Chains A and B, each alone.
Chain A
Amino acid sequence: MSRIEINNLTKKFGDLTALDDVTLSLEQGQIVGLLGPNGSGKTTLIKILNGLLQPTSGSVSINGNAPGVETKKVVAYLPDRNALPDYMTASQLMDIYGDFFADFDRLKAEAMVDDLGIDRQQTMKKMSKGTKEKLQLCLVMARQADVYLLDEPIGGVDPATRDYILRTIISNYNENAVVVISTHLIADVESVLDDVVFIHNGKIVLHKAADEIREEKGESIDKLFREVFKC
Protein backbone atom coordinates (compact mmCIF):
# COMPACT_ATOMS: atom_id res chain seq x y z
CA MET A 1 0.00 0.00 0.00
CA SER A 2 1.33 3.42 -0.76
CA ARG A 3 1.73 5.58 2.29
CA ILE A 4 2.83 8.76 0.56
CA GLU A 5 1.44 10.06 -2.73
CA ILE A 6 2.85 13.14 -4.40
CA ASN A 7 1.21 14.31 -7.61
CA ASN A 8 2.56 16.99 -9.95
CA LEU A 9 3.79 18.96 -6.97
CA THR A 10 5.28 22.39 -7.70
CA LYS A 11 6.48 24.87 -5.11
CA LYS A 12 7.67 28.36 -5.99
CA PHE A 13 9.24 30.97 -3.73
CA GLY A 14 8.81 34.11 -5.86
CA ASP A 15 10.92 33.52 -8.96
CA LEU A 16 12.60 30.46 -7.52
CA THR A 17 11.13 27.06 -8.35
CA ALA A 18 12.03 24.82 -5.40
CA LEU A 19 10.01 21.81 -6.57
CA ASP A 20 9.16 21.30 -10.20
CA ASP A 21 6.28 18.96 -11.08
CA VAL A 22 7.28 16.19 -8.66
CA THR A 23 5.33 12.93 -8.80
CA LEU A 24 6.32 10.19 -6.38
CA SER A 25 4.67 7.31 -4.61
CA LEU A 26 6.25 5.62 -1.58
CA GLU A 27 5.13 2.23 -0.32
CA GLN A 28 5.01 0.93 3.23
CA GLY A 29 7.71 -1.45 4.41
CA GLN A 30 10.49 0.60 2.92
CA ILE A 31 13.40 2.74 4.00
CA VAL A 32 13.86 5.36 1.33
CA GLY A 33 16.79 7.72 0.88
CA LEU A 34 15.89 11.18 -0.39
CA LEU A 35 19.23 12.18 -1.76
CA GLY A 36 20.26 15.44 -3.35
CA PRO A 37 22.82 18.21 -3.09
CA ASN A 38 22.26 21.32 -0.98
CA GLY A 39 19.33 23.36 -2.24
CA SER A 40 17.86 20.56 -4.35
CA GLY A 41 14.44 20.71 -2.67
CA LYS A 42 14.68 17.93 -0.05
CA THR A 43 13.64 20.04 2.93
CA THR A 44 10.93 21.85 0.97
CA LEU A 45 9.40 18.51 0.00
CA ILE A 46 9.47 17.24 3.58
CA LYS A 47 7.99 20.49 4.90
CA ILE A 48 5.10 20.23 2.43
CA LEU A 49 4.46 16.64 3.55
CA ASN A 50 4.24 17.98 7.11
CA GLY A 51 1.89 20.80 6.18
CA LEU A 52 4.45 23.46 7.08
CA LEU A 53 4.46 24.80 3.53
CA GLN A 54 1.64 24.88 1.02
CA PRO A 55 2.06 23.63 -2.55
CA THR A 56 1.94 26.22 -5.34
CA SER A 57 0.23 23.55 -7.43
CA GLY A 58 -0.27 19.79 -7.33
CA SER A 59 -1.03 17.75 -4.23
CA VAL A 60 0.37 15.45 -1.59
CA SER A 61 -1.35 12.89 0.61
CA ILE A 62 -0.39 10.55 3.45
CA ASN A 63 -2.62 7.52 3.98
CA GLY A 64 -4.97 9.26 1.56
CA ASN A 65 -5.25 12.45 3.64
CA ALA A 66 -3.90 15.90 2.84
CA PRO A 67 -1.41 17.11 5.50
CA GLY A 68 -3.35 18.16 8.59
CA VAL A 69 -4.60 16.87 11.93
CA GLU A 70 -5.07 13.29 10.71
CA THR A 71 -1.63 13.01 9.14
CA LYS A 72 0.16 14.52 12.13
CA LYS A 73 -1.08 11.58 14.21
CA VAL A 74 0.75 9.14 11.99
CA VAL A 75 3.81 11.11 10.84
CA ALA A 76 6.93 11.25 13.01
CA TYR A 77 8.93 14.22 11.80
CA LEU A 78 12.52 15.13 12.53
CA PRO A 79 13.00 18.72 11.33
CA ASP A 80 16.30 19.98 9.99
CA ARG A 81 16.64 22.36 12.93
CA ASN A 82 15.56 22.34 16.54
CA ALA A 83 11.87 23.15 16.93
CA LEU A 84 11.51 22.24 20.61
CA PRO A 85 11.43 24.69 23.55
CA ASP A 86 15.02 24.78 24.81
CA TYR A 87 14.20 25.67 28.42
CA MET A 88 12.79 22.16 28.90
CA THR A 89 14.67 19.11 30.11
CA ALA A 90 14.85 15.80 28.24
CA SER A 91 12.40 14.39 30.75
CA GLN A 92 9.90 17.24 30.25
CA LEU A 93 10.17 16.90 26.48
CA MET A 94 9.31 13.22 26.79
CA ASP A 95 6.22 14.31 28.79
CA ILE A 96 5.26 16.69 25.98
CA TYR A 97 5.67 13.99 23.34
CA GLY A 98 3.60 11.61 25.45
CA ASP A 99 0.85 14.25 25.71
CA PHE A 100 0.85 15.10 22.02
CA PHE A 101 1.29 11.71 20.39
CA ALA A 102 -0.79 8.65 21.26
CA ASP A 103 1.80 6.42 19.57
CA PHE A 104 4.71 7.66 21.73
CA ASP A 105 6.46 4.85 23.61
CA ARG A 106 7.90 6.48 26.72
CA LEU A 107 9.92 3.45 27.81
CA LYS A 108 11.54 3.16 24.43
CA ALA A 109 12.44 6.85 24.47
CA GLU A 110 13.95 6.56 27.94
CA ALA A 111 16.00 3.54 26.90
CA MET A 112 17.36 5.42 23.89
CA VAL A 113 18.08 8.57 25.91
CA ASP A 114 20.03 6.45 28.43
CA ASP A 115 21.87 4.50 25.71
CA LEU A 116 23.09 7.76 24.23
CA GLY A 117 24.19 9.10 27.61
CA ILE A 118 21.79 12.05 27.61
CA ASP A 119 21.12 13.50 31.07
CA ARG A 120 17.32 13.41 31.51
CA GLN A 121 17.38 16.39 33.87
CA GLN A 122 19.46 18.68 31.68
CA THR A 123 17.70 21.49 29.83
CA MET A 124 18.05 21.48 26.08
CA LYS A 125 19.67 24.93 26.20
CA LYS A 126 22.68 23.47 28.00
CA MET A 127 23.10 20.54 25.62
CA SER A 128 25.71 20.48 22.86
CA LYS A 129 24.50 20.68 19.28
CA GLY A 130 25.06 16.95 18.80
CA THR A 131 23.22 16.01 22.00
CA LYS A 132 20.23 18.16 20.99
CA GLU A 133 20.06 16.27 17.71
CA LYS A 134 20.31 12.93 19.49
CA LEU A 135 17.48 13.83 21.85
CA GLN A 136 15.20 14.94 19.03
CA LEU A 137 15.88 11.72 17.20
CA CYS A 138 15.05 9.65 20.31
CA LEU A 139 11.72 11.45 20.60
CA VAL A 140 10.87 10.89 16.94
CA MET A 141 11.99 7.26 16.75
CA ALA A 142 10.14 6.32 19.95
CA ARG A 143 6.86 6.87 18.12
CA GLN A 144 5.10 3.92 16.46
CA ALA A 145 4.26 5.95 13.39
CA ASP A 146 3.21 4.97 9.87
CA VAL A 147 5.54 7.49 8.30
CA TYR A 148 8.92 8.73 9.52
CA LEU A 149 10.25 11.84 7.81
CA LEU A 150 13.83 12.36 8.91
CA ASP A 151 15.44 15.52 7.57
CA GLU A 152 19.23 15.13 7.88
CA PRO A 153 19.15 12.81 10.91
CA ILE A 154 22.89 12.18 10.95
CA GLY A 155 24.24 15.57 9.91
CA GLY A 156 25.64 16.81 13.18
CA VAL A 157 26.54 13.72 15.20
CA ASP A 158 29.74 11.73 15.69
CA PRO A 159 30.35 8.44 13.83
CA ALA A 160 29.57 6.21 16.85
CA THR A 161 26.22 7.95 17.32
CA ARG A 162 25.64 7.75 13.58
CA ASP A 163 25.97 3.95 13.84
CA TYR A 164 23.61 3.90 16.80
CA ILE A 165 21.04 5.95 14.90
CA LEU A 166 21.21 3.72 11.84
CA ARG A 167 20.93 0.61 14.02
CA THR A 168 17.92 2.21 15.71
CA ILE A 169 16.30 2.83 12.34
CA ILE A 170 16.93 -0.80 11.33
CA SER A 171 15.76 -2.34 14.59
CA ASN A 172 12.67 -0.12 14.55
CA TYR A 173 11.87 -1.25 11.05
CA ASN A 174 8.26 -2.21 10.70
CA GLU A 175 6.64 -3.51 7.56
CA ASN A 176 3.68 -1.16 7.86
CA ALA A 177 5.75 1.99 8.02
CA VAL A 178 7.78 3.97 5.54
CA VAL A 179 10.94 5.75 6.61
CA VAL A 180 12.21 8.64 4.50
CA ILE A 181 15.76 9.76 5.24
CA SER A 182 16.88 12.96 3.60
CA THR A 183 20.63 13.41 3.48
CA HIS A 184 23.67 14.17 1.42
CA LEU A 185 25.86 11.85 3.55
CA ILE A 186 25.18 8.92 1.30
CA ALA A 187 28.03 6.56 2.11
CA ASP A 188 26.82 6.43 5.73
CA VAL A 189 23.23 5.49 4.97
CA GLU A 190 23.28 3.58 1.74
CA SER A 191 23.42 0.09 3.22
CA VAL A 192 20.13 0.60 5.07
CA LEU A 193 18.15 1.85 2.08
CA ASP A 194 15.65 -0.13 0.00
CA ASP A 195 15.04 2.61 -2.50
CA VAL A 196 16.86 5.76 -3.45
CA VAL A 197 15.33 8.92 -4.82
CA PHE A 198 17.71 11.43 -6.39
CA ILE A 199 16.42 14.97 -6.41
CA HIS A 200 18.07 17.78 -8.33
CA ASN A 201 16.93 21.36 -8.91
CA GLY A 202 13.49 20.42 -7.62
CA LYS A 203 13.06 17.46 -9.96
CA ILE A 204 13.17 13.71 -9.28
CA VAL A 205 15.94 12.42 -11.52
CA LEU A 206 16.03 8.80 -10.32
CA HIS A 207 13.87 6.46 -8.22
CA LYS A 208 15.23 2.93 -7.97
CA ALA A 209 16.04 0.03 -5.67
CA ALA A 210 19.51 0.47 -4.18
CA ASP A 211 20.67 -3.06 -4.99
CA GLU A 212 19.39 -2.68 -8.54
CA ILE A 213 21.63 0.36 -8.98
CA ARG A 214 24.65 -1.52 -7.62
CA GLU A 215 23.87 -4.44 -9.91
CA GLU A 216 23.36 -2.37 -13.05
CA LYS A 217 26.07 0.22 -12.57
CA GLY A 218 28.56 -1.87 -10.60
CA GLU A 219 29.16 1.06 -8.29
CA SER A 220 28.00 2.36 -4.95
CA ILE A 221 25.14 4.82 -4.57
CA ASP A 222 27.67 7.31 -3.23
CA LYS A 223 29.76 7.05 -6.39
CA LEU A 224 26.73 7.33 -8.65
CA PHE A 225 25.63 10.41 -6.71
CA ARG A 226 29.03 12.03 -7.21
CA GLU A 227 28.78 11.39 -10.93
CA VAL A 228 25.22 12.59 -11.35
CA PHE A 229 25.77 15.72 -9.28
CA LYS A 230 29.32 16.50 -10.36
CA CYS A 231 30.02 20.21 -9.95
Chain B
Amino acid sequence: MEWNFRDGIPIYTQIIDEMTMRIASGAYEPGDKLPSVRDLAVDAGVNPNTMQRALAELERKGLVYSERTSGRFVTKEEAVLSELHEELAKRYFEELTEKLRKIGMDDKAIKTSVDKWMKEMH
Protein backbone atom coordinates (compact mmCIF):
# COMPACT_ATOMS: atom_id res chain seq x y z
CA MET B 1 0.00 0.00 0.00
CA GLU B 2 1.29 3.40 -1.01
CA TRP B 3 1.42 6.49 1.11
CA ASN B 4 1.03 9.79 -0.70
CA PHE B 5 1.12 13.01 1.23
CA ARG B 6 -0.15 16.29 -0.07
CA ASP B 7 1.45 19.63 0.69
CA GLY B 8 0.11 22.03 3.24
CA ILE B 9 -2.02 19.60 5.25
CA PRO B 10 -0.78 18.33 8.61
CA ILE B 11 0.73 14.89 8.07
CA TYR B 12 -1.00 13.42 11.10
CA THR B 13 -4.45 14.24 9.70
CA GLN B 14 -3.47 12.66 6.38
CA ILE B 15 -2.35 9.53 8.21
CA ILE B 16 -5.68 9.40 10.06
CA ASP B 17 -7.54 9.65 6.73
CA GLU B 18 -5.43 6.95 5.08
CA MET B 19 -5.70 4.53 8.01
CA THR B 20 -9.44 5.16 8.25
CA MET B 21 -9.75 4.32 4.56
CA ARG B 22 -7.73 1.14 5.00
CA ILE B 23 -10.02 0.05 7.82
CA ALA B 24 -13.21 0.99 5.97
CA SER B 25 -12.12 -0.77 2.78
CA GLY B 26 -11.11 -3.92 4.62
CA ALA B 27 -7.43 -3.62 3.74
CA TYR B 28 -7.08 -3.96 7.50
CA GLU B 29 -9.82 -6.32 8.64
CA PRO B 30 -11.62 -6.24 11.99
CA GLY B 31 -9.36 -7.74 14.65
CA ASP B 32 -6.20 -7.43 12.50
CA LYS B 33 -3.05 -6.51 14.36
CA LEU B 34 -1.55 -3.26 13.06
CA PRO B 35 2.18 -3.03 12.33
CA SER B 36 4.23 -1.29 15.01
CA VAL B 37 4.46 2.49 15.11
CA ARG B 38 8.05 2.29 13.95
CA ASP B 39 7.28 0.00 11.01
CA LEU B 40 4.35 2.14 9.94
CA ALA B 41 6.51 5.27 10.26
CA VAL B 42 9.31 3.77 8.17
CA ASP B 43 6.81 2.57 5.57
CA ALA B 44 5.14 5.97 5.31
CA GLY B 45 8.45 7.86 5.57
CA VAL B 46 7.19 9.98 8.44
CA ASN B 47 8.32 10.86 11.92
CA PRO B 48 7.42 8.16 14.50
CA ASN B 49 5.96 10.79 16.83
CA THR B 50 3.60 11.89 14.07
CA MET B 51 2.51 8.29 13.44
CA GLN B 52 2.02 7.78 17.18
CA ARG B 53 -0.14 10.89 17.37
CA ALA B 54 -2.34 9.71 14.47
CA LEU B 55 -2.79 6.24 15.98
CA ALA B 56 -3.73 7.75 19.33
CA GLU B 57 -6.43 9.74 17.55
CA LEU B 58 -7.74 6.60 15.79
CA GLU B 59 -7.84 4.96 19.19
CA ARG B 60 -9.79 7.88 20.62
CA LYS B 61 -12.29 7.48 17.78
CA GLY B 62 -12.63 3.80 18.63
CA LEU B 63 -11.37 2.51 15.27
CA VAL B 64 -8.41 0.77 16.85
CA TYR B 65 -7.70 -0.47 20.35
CA SER B 66 -4.52 -1.31 22.23
CA GLU B 67 -3.72 -4.35 24.24
CA ARG B 68 -1.14 -3.44 26.74
CA THR B 69 1.52 -5.92 25.78
CA SER B 70 0.64 -7.16 22.32
CA GLY B 71 0.04 -4.02 20.26
CA ARG B 72 -2.76 -2.28 18.39
CA PHE B 73 -5.71 -3.95 16.68
CA VAL B 74 -8.53 -2.91 14.37
CA THR B 75 -11.84 -2.72 16.19
CA LYS B 76 -14.27 -5.62 15.93
CA GLU B 77 -17.23 -3.49 16.99
CA GLU B 78 -19.84 -3.73 14.23
CA ALA B 79 -21.48 -0.50 15.36
CA VAL B 80 -18.27 1.50 15.05
CA LEU B 81 -17.54 0.08 11.60
CA SER B 82 -21.00 0.66 10.21
CA GLU B 83 -20.96 4.19 11.60
CA LEU B 84 -17.64 4.70 9.82
CA HIS B 85 -19.11 3.51 6.53
CA GLU B 86 -22.08 5.78 6.98
CA GLU B 87 -19.82 8.74 7.69
CA LEU B 88 -17.57 8.10 4.68
CA ALA B 89 -20.50 7.49 2.34
CA LYS B 90 -22.04 10.75 3.48
CA ARG B 91 -18.78 12.63 2.92
CA TYR B 92 -18.38 11.26 -0.63
CA PHE B 93 -21.98 11.93 -1.43
CA GLU B 94 -21.63 15.53 -0.26
CA GLU B 95 -18.52 16.00 -2.40
CA LEU B 96 -20.28 14.59 -5.44
CA THR B 97 -23.43 16.63 -4.93
CA GLU B 98 -21.44 19.80 -4.41
CA LYS B 99 -19.63 19.30 -7.72
CA LEU B 100 -22.78 18.47 -9.64
CA ARG B 101 -24.51 21.54 -8.22
CA LYS B 102 -21.55 23.64 -9.32
CA ILE B 103 -22.16 22.60 -12.91
CA GLY B 104 -25.78 23.65 -12.62
CA MET B 105 -27.66 20.43 -11.82
CA ASP B 106 -30.60 20.60 -9.41
CA ASP B 107 -31.52 17.79 -7.00
CA LYS B 108 -34.04 16.30 -9.39
CA ALA B 109 -31.56 16.16 -12.25
CA ILE B 110 -28.96 14.61 -9.93
CA LYS B 111 -31.38 11.88 -8.81
CA THR B 112 -32.38 11.04 -12.38
CA SER B 113 -28.77 10.95 -13.49
CA VAL B 114 -27.65 8.77 -10.59
CA ASP B 115 -30.20 6.13 -11.62
CA LYS B 116 -29.13 6.40 -15.24
CA TRP B 117 -25.40 6.14 -14.49
CA MET B 118 -25.85 3.27 -12.08
CA LYS B 119 -27.48 1.26 -14.87
CA GLU B 120 -24.76 2.17 -17.35
CA MET B 121 -21.99 1.19 -14.98
CA HIS B 122 -23.38 -2.32 -14.46
Contacts and interface: CB of A to CB of B under 8 A. Distances in A.
25 contacts: A29-B49, A166-B45, A167-B42, A170-B38, A170-B41, A170-B42, A173-B41, A191-B44, A191-B47, A192-B46, A192-B47, A194-B47, A194-B50, A210-B47, A211-B10, A211-B11, A211-B50, A212-B10, A214-B9, A214-B10, A218-B8, A219-B7, A219-B8, A222-B7, A223-B7
Lowest 4 A-B CB distances belong to which pairs? A220-B7, A211-B10, A219-B8, A214-B10
Given A218-B8, A219-B7, A223-B7, A30 B49 contact: yes
Contacts of B47: 31, 170, 173, 191-194, 210
Contacts of B10: 211-212, 214-215
Interface of B: 5, 7-12, 38, 41-42, 44-50
Interface string A205-231: 000001110110111101100000000
A171 B49 contact: no
Contacts of B12: 211
Given A173-B38, A211-B50, A167 B8 contact: no
Nearest to A222: B7
Contacts of B45: 163, 166-167, 170, 191-192
A42 B2 CA distance: 34
Contacts, number: 56
Interface of A: 29-31, 163, 166-167, 170-171, 173, 191-194, 210-212, 214-215, 217-220, 222-223
A71 B29 CA distance: 48
Contact of B46 (A163, A170, A217, A220): A170
A224 to B, nearest CB: 9
A215 B50 CA distance: 14
A24 to B, nearest CB: 19
A220 B41 contact: no
A223 B5 CA distance: 15
B65 to A, nearest CB: 23
B36 to A, nearest CB: 11
B5 A191 contact: yes
A108 to B, nearest CB: 15
Given A192-B45, A192-B47, A194-B47, A171 B9 contact: no
A29 B74 CA distance: 27
Nearest to A220: B7
A191 B41 CA distance: 10
Contacts of B44: 191
Given A29-B49, A194-B50, A171 B7 contact: no
Nearest to B9: A214
Contacts of B11: 191, 210-211, 214
